[in-house]
Amino acid sequence: MKKIAIVFVMLMSVISVQAQKGQGKGQGWEALSNMKAVMKPSFQPVIKENNLEPAKENAAKLYEMAVLLENGSKPKAFRKKGMAEKFTSITTLSKSMKELVENNASDEDIKNELVSLHAAFAEIAHHKKAGGPKH
């Protein structure tokens, strides 16, 4: 029984280490995946059809995802000096966009903020260490 317990503890340690190593390789950075899942259906209609409705509907969710992305656990490459400012920028831009939507700002102002937000997010999402499928 003692040997089974030792084997179990060792197995759990290996699983934990493997889960941490997988983070950032398309397997474990849930906050990035969640933000992408909201960003894509918000941004694509603007580019393809000049349709801001999905972006307006998702503005609060984009802000929520940005806060989680900024404050959550990140792969090692995204904890380096200078990266914090990129995450803060995403949060600031998404908050501003949410407020523009809440205050019934012009479509042009909302669109400009979304384009800025997308550009800031792309610096993280398309970083070579972000993992996931290559575009």
- For 10, phi then psi, to 5°, come to -65, -40
How high is the pLDDT of residue 101? 98
Mean pLDDT in consecutive groups of 10 residues from the start of the chain, 135 residues: 48 42 54 95 96 98 97 91 92 98 98 97 84 49
**Range of the structural domain that residue 33 is part of:** 29-125
Residue 22 lies in a domain: no
Domain membership flag for residue 13: no
- Please report where in the chains the tokens 């694509």 appear, as a residue: 44
Side-chain-side CA neighbours of residue 78 (13 Å): 26
Whether residue 131 is contained in a domain is answered as no
The reply to whether 114 falls in a domain is: yes
Looking at residue 58, which CATH number applies to its domain? Answer: 1.20.120
pLDDT value of residue 80: 87
Assess if residue 134 is contained within a domain. Answer: no
pLDDT of residue 84: 93
* The total number of structural domains that make up the chain: 1
Q: What is the pLDDT of residue 87?
A: 96
Q: Does a structural domain hold residue 121?
A: yes
